Amino acid sequence: MLTTDELAAFPVFSGLRPDQLGEVTKHAADIVVGSGQYVVHDGDEAAFYLVISGVLEVVQAIDGVEKKFGERRAGTMFGEIPLTFGMDFQWAARALGPTRVLRLDARHYHALAGEAPEFAKTVRESAEYRVGGPKGMKSLVAERRPPQVTMAGHRYDATCVALRSFLARNQIHFEGVDVDEPGFMDRWQAPMPAEADLPAFRLADGTILAKPPARLLAERLGLQTVPVMMDYDTVVVGGGPAGLAAAVYGASEGLRTLVIEREAPGGQAGTSSRIENYLGFPNGISGDDLASRALRQAKRLGAEILITRHIEKIDADTRAIHLDCGDVVRTRTIVLATGVSWRRLTIEGFDRLTGKGIYYGAARSEASLMQGLDVHLIGAGNSAGQAAMFFANHARSVTLLVRGQSLEKSMSRYLIDQVREKSNIKVALGCEVGGVHGDNHLTDIDIVDRTCGGVRRETCGGLFVFIGADAETGWLPAGIARNERGYVLTGPDLLRAGHWSLDRDPYLLETSVPGIFAAGDVRLGPVKRVASAVGEGSMAIAFIHQYLRDLSGAGAS
């Protein structure tokens, strides 16, 4: 427990009266942590910290890479910047060894500062120095950090587009250079790659990778592709919002948790340019930012996240999961959180130009390609509306092509209002794409206007498709019941369909195979929202605990 004599020995508190020191001891938390434990996380509310003993290191994730900004040793304060400038923490602090820290919340700090102006001045001057000093955060953040990898290729090459999205969604800081642009060699800083080797990648150590598969690229960039263990308490299939929520809650509650993701964490939500109605983010949050935060949280709590891995088979009886390349992991329970995939259009030329001006979904990484162009989006749901708002900040014009006669049936009211207020967004009701044109990349589209019966051709620099999605679950074991569209049946739906054989009722998210659960969009359900997916992912872990308790009880009997 903190004492007034103990506090008076520190210079920052030495000018306080005994009664003021007494107020600090009355309200301050005395925090003791071990090596590697966090005292502050990115996004925490402002508070005053003083290192009593030990050492804290200040770190921040920038473009997915953690950067160290310094250390706080015994007797030094921390948190003066958020308190002085009225902000939440934009960085984290963790112990380098056994460490003891005082924490005074913002309310009690400001009360003390009002009574002790010299103390407040000391804190304020420290904040100003930490920001603007010669080694302050302003100068450190302003430093240009070299990319982890540089990618060379053609702008409209489909493989380049896919790998650019792969890198961005895995929070890899990269630079893309177009071999057709002037000055390419100055930016590439390596021998000219052969056409057959494109896309080529130059790593930070100078290594060149010619047309590497995604897994090799991931491994060379330090991403996890191989499980550490062969046995887990739960394996989560899919790294979207539901899967990451299950990972966070599973790992935090002591379950050995593995997430298997075939591309990048975030799922379909990760391609959303803005989610405006997610609880706790009054100004909205992008899908990849939400995924990035959830990914860091899951890893910090101990979950393993495998990427670029495909599941070839699940043995429903033994809970063995067979991965590509022959790896097999065993688990006591499984959470299916594979989400859904965008529905494909069958218009002639679409497949040929996909990735060359035609895209399914809308990753933020495509924004720079749309600068100053005329962009079209197919769809009338929230995903299309969010993408329209995002691309309107880069494109010359954005046109929403809507087959119906209104947006009200499928788009949230707040988003409809935003779309209508944006001067360079046009909504074309009763319209659909009838044809696409372009040799090496998309140049024009034919728009069929059902209202007037005409067809018009418009210049198009980018066409993004949001026409709904389907569950791709044909690879699942036959014992896992699904409806005619591939959505997994769980809980009461199993009973109604006659696919449950045990004496007990299935848990709400349990599939027809006991111990295998489904969460998020892959599960048959009326609500398809990020918030509901996150809720179901966390609920799945609660049901897993109950299932394991039942299993343990049955074994004991």
Q: What is the CATH number of the domain that holds 117?
A: 2.60.120.10
Is 80 exceeded by the pLDDT of residue 244?
A: yes
**CA–CA–CA angle 469, 470, 473 (5° rounding):** 150
Tell me the pLDDT of the chain averaged across its residues: 90
29 falls within a domain:
yes
d(CA 259, CA 234): 9
Residue 219 has pLDDT above 90, yes or no: yes
Query: Do 335 and 475 belong to one domain?
Result: yes
Total domains, the chain: 4
Q: Say how far apart CA 112 and CA 109 lie, in whole Å.
A: 5
CATH code of the domain covering residue 279: 3.50.50.60
Question: Which bin fits 313, alpha (ψ -120 to 50), beta or left (φ > 0)?
Answer: beta
- Same-domain pairing of 316 and 356: no
Record the tokens describing residue 106, joined without a space. Answer: 């913002």
On whether both 447 and 461 belong to a single domain, the answer is yes
pLDDT band of residue 452 (cuts 50, 70, 90) is: confident
What is the reported pLDDT for 121? Answer: 94
**463 plus 477 within the same structural domain:** no
Contacts of 77 (CB under 8 A, 6+ apart): 12, 48, 49, 50, 51, 123, 126
If asked whether residues 442 and 509 sit together in one domain, one would say no
Question: Using one digit for the tens of pLDDT, what is the confidence trace for 22-56?
Answer: 999 999 999 999 998 889 988 889 999 999 999 99
* DSSP category for residue 475: T
The residue from 111, 142, 173 where one domain ends is 142
**Residue position matching structure tokens 């930012």:** 289
Q: Give whole-number Cα distances, 284 to 83, 226, 274, 277, 290, in Å.
A: 24, 34, 6, 7, 10
Count other C-beta atoms under 10 Å from residue 220's C-beta. 16
Least confident stretch, 176-180, 233-237, 275-279: 275-279
Instruction: In whole angstroms, give the CA distance from residue 213 to residue 502.
Output: 45
Give Cα 465 to chain centroid, integer Å: 21
Whether residue 507 is contained in a domain is answered as: yes
Long-range contacts of 340-343 (CB under 8 A, 24+ apart): 340/268, 340/469, 340/470, 340/471, 340/472, 340/521, 340/522, 341/268, 341/469, 341/470, 341/471, 341/472, 342/268, 342/465, 342/466, 342/467, 342/468, 342/469, 343/467, 343/468, 343/469, 343/470
* 226 in any annotated domain: no
Average pLDDT over residues 367-389: 90
Q: End of a domain among 201, 220, 239?
A: 220
What's the sign of the alpha-carbon dihedral 73, 79, 80, 85?
positive
Structural domain span for residue 310: 231-341+470-556
Q: Which of 467, 482, 511 is at the close of a domain?
A: 467
